[in-house]
Structure 1
């Protein structure tokens, strides 16, 4: 048996980045399963809908189920030594413990009186279910629906479901599940940003910034002071034409909630002769902060001639065969091929103020285009995520300016020092 096991390194080059389930059996070699290949259910990436299948197919032969991500390395002998400390006939939920530093909107302000009291696993370090626990959860998931239709932060929601208001086990913090390499580590995160060759060119990305008149004086200047200079092609789309920025009015009125009409107008403009031809389209809000150099590095791992949708993946109704979508505030990335496929399919908004990210998710699901997740995109600002988790990343984006200094956030978390020595 080898000491180092990197189960999913090749996946980084695919348009479907998946969580890996690593299963240790008492007999024979370990089996590696890619969750997105288990069934035709798109929601298997959220793990809970996949548990019944795992229980039926493997619980008789597997002692432990270990869930890891693409960048996770497993030291097999160390992992087996760790698992042998625990009675596999009992219910165990093991992993590297994270907790909220403060009450977080991402977690609906759960445990607001004492955010650190509830622990959930770092998925990149791996987490483990014993077979008895997995089997019980698989039975429960079939008769006890999830409390929310939305899947927003998988690691926290899985821990909540397992804990079950105190009726189930809490996460057992295991120091051998590591965020970085170490002599004692059974698992380790090998890279914070994948390396797939030279970054794509600046000219390969067209950036669309959604804004409106009331934010021209406060949000747009932040974009201009931070990341706009890293874009070769960028346009601001507003409800008025303002030559001082400049902005473009696409003929779609401003809406207070969803921006589906504006987003579909952007998709059409991207394919038109009105803008320079580029392989990738990035759509962001005017209060999105993003590192375009890091995005260019990430996009090297994908093929723009395929239909690719990339960002922070959320889910809606996944327990009932719903759909996935990239959340808009974190930034939505589409290959030119994906945009053409969406527009040629007849997909459209049911209203201008429909949620654009969710409508696009429904369209892409209908077209069998996978929603590719990257944990480097963030729908909220840094304070809403565990510091221990963010410190092992090179984040690509954050969202929202409220209660924070957006320029300071960009400088600390997203700044490319060579590109912006003056910040």
Structure 2
């Protein structure tokens, strides 16, 4: 029997023969085979920041002279708002770039990619294999944010810090892009993006775990492939206290209006009424929301109140089935006057007074084309429900729920100093 199409050679050891198959050489990544996805948002401030980040990356590539990567702004990939959750975008990303890309790198608007170091890092991982790379985080205790996953040993499961960026090799993202088209997610809700992506990739142990890469950084130090600045930018003087109207939803014990959605839409109409002063921003919170107004005032300076802005901690519902996003109510929902006016005039309303108001608002804003703008400074849960490295005592705006905690102590630990400094 003759063997063809394979290059065979004979190696002799101690008089016996064995067959040796020459393996193809492992190919390393090149800059032009890298697709950098900036997880941009449609709001004008975030569009500007993401374009600045793109220009910085392309300028560094030009200085290196080793090719030019594809730099993609995620909000420009398609009109579908749910692409922010990444998994719905994978089939389209694969269809456009699958033949030419060896790696996809996902970064946030404030993440810097140092290309010369990044190339060296990626060359350590053969592009023919499935790789999921990032700065590894793990829960120290079971967390409601992660649906108490891995409750017996929370440290056993790793997920990437989004601020440091994370990468997928070609074989992995191509397989994921195919799989996502026929496999349903375990939950209709998208809450903590990178944790849920890591769970989908891990596939109950059948897929790869996250490989921790020390050069994926969130602070500036030697030999970093990525670094991160801040989620609380300095855009100038904080907005005035008189530019924010604060509405606190409460319960029947303290107020005659009982229903969540009914309360919220009553607030929206009252905000626009002649009885109210005409201010730029509406903040809607629960009566168990803790919030730093000085930090919120600083953050709001970055946004144009003449634009329709819905700002908060963004969740998603049914995003794999053309669903919608919403700002979680407990962490605080911030709406510009233009956003409130657009929503009220659209005629969108509660299907019942006791419907979940934050989800109804999200669905309404989606129907009229107002994007939900995400800030990780808002938190739907308590501080202990988040990994310590994910939340910063200097850069958190809100927390929610008073169960089994001393809310005054939480306020003092997380917000009081900032109030004193900012009021001086």
Partner residue in 2 for 1:83: 122
Partner residue in 2 for 1:69: 108
Partner residue in 1 for 2:368: 367
> 1:411 offset after TM fit, Å?
1.6
Partner residue in 2 for 1:283: 284
Partner residue in 2 for 1:305: 306
Pairing 1:193-212 to 2, within 5 Å after superposition = 193-212=232-251
**Does 1:140 pair with 2:171?**
no
Partner residue in 1 for 2:147: 108
- Decide which of 34, 53, 77 is 1:38's aligned counterpart: 77
Pairing 1:225-236 to 2, within 5 Å after superposition = none
The answer on whether the counterparts of 1:280 and 1:333 sit within 8 Å (CA) in structure 2 is: yes
Partner residue in 1 for 2:333: 332
The answer on whether the counterparts of 1:11 and 1:18 sit within 8 Å (CA) in structure 2 is: no
Pick closer, same or farther for the CA change 1:421–1:296 going to 2, 3 Å: closer
The answer on whether the counterparts of 1:312 and 1:375 sit within 8 Å (CA) in structure 2 is: yes
Pairing 1:164-313 to 2, within 5 Å after superposition = 164-214=203-253, 238-239=255-256, 252=257, 254-255=258-259, 259-313=260-314
**Does 1:14 pair with 2:48?**
no
Pick closer, same or farther for the CA change 1:353–1:306 going to 2, 3 Å: same
Pairing 1:41-60 to 2, within 5 Å after superposition = 41-60=80-99
> 1:412 offset after TM fit, Å?
1.6
Structure 2 distance, partners of 1:168, 1:79, is 24
> 1:27 offset after TM fit, Å?
7.8
Pick closer, same or farther for the CA change 1:197–1:9 going to 2, 3 Å: farther
Partner residue in 1 for 2:168: 129
Per the normalisation by structure 1, the TM-score is 0.84
Structure 1 distance, partners of 2:393, 2:135, is 13
Structure 2 distance, partners of 1:6, 1:73, is 12
Partner residue in 1 for 2:379: 378
> 1:393 offset after TM fit, Å?
6.3
Structure 1 distance, partners of 2:235, 2:168, is 32
Partner residue in 2 for 1:414: 415
**Alignment partner of 1:350: what SS?**
coil
Structure 2 distance, partners of 1:84, 1:12, is 36
Q: Which is worse superposed, 182-191 or 369-378?
A: 182-191
> 1:106 offset after TM fit, Å?
0.9
Give the alignment's Cα RMSD to 1 decimal: 2.7
- Compare CA radii of gyration and give the structure with the larger one: 2
Which segments of 5 or more consecutive residues in structure 2 lack a partner in the other structure? 1-30
> 1:198 offset after TM fit, Å?
1.4
Deviation per residue, 1:336-370 (Å, 9 max, x gap) = 00000000000111111000001101110010000
Partner residue in 2 for 1:234: none
The answer on whether the counterparts of 2:40 and 2:75 sit within 8 Å (CA) in structure 1 is: no
Partner residue in 1 for 2:192: 153
The answer on whether the counterparts of 1:271 and 1:340 sit within 8 Å (CA) in structure 2 is: yes
Partner residue in 2 for 1:229: none
> 1:77 offset after TM fit, Å?
0.8
**Alignment partner of 2:215: what SS?**
coil
> 1:276 offset after TM fit, Å?
2.2
The answer on whether the counterparts of 1:329 and 1:379 sit within 8 Å (CA) in structure 2 is: yes
> 1:382 offset after TM fit, Å?
0.8
The answer on whether the counterparts of 1:89 and 1:132 sit within 8 Å (CA) in structure 2 is: yes
Which segments of 5 or more consecutive residues in structure 1 lack a partner in the other structure? 217-237, 240-251
The answer on whether the counterparts of 2:309 and 2:335 sit within 8 Å (CA) in structure 1 is: yes
Count matched residues: 380
Pick closer, same or farther for the CA change 1:193–1:421 going to 2, 3 Å: closer
Pick closer, same or farther for the CA change 1:10–1:41 going to 2, 3 Å: closer
> 1:10 offset after TM fit, Å?
11
Pick closer, same or farther for the CA change 1:162–1:6 going to 2, 3 Å: closer
Partner residue in 2 for 1:232: none
**Does 1:97 pair with 2:136?**
yes
Structure 2 distance, partners of 1:106, 1:320, is 22
Per the normalisation by structure 2, the TM-score is 0.84
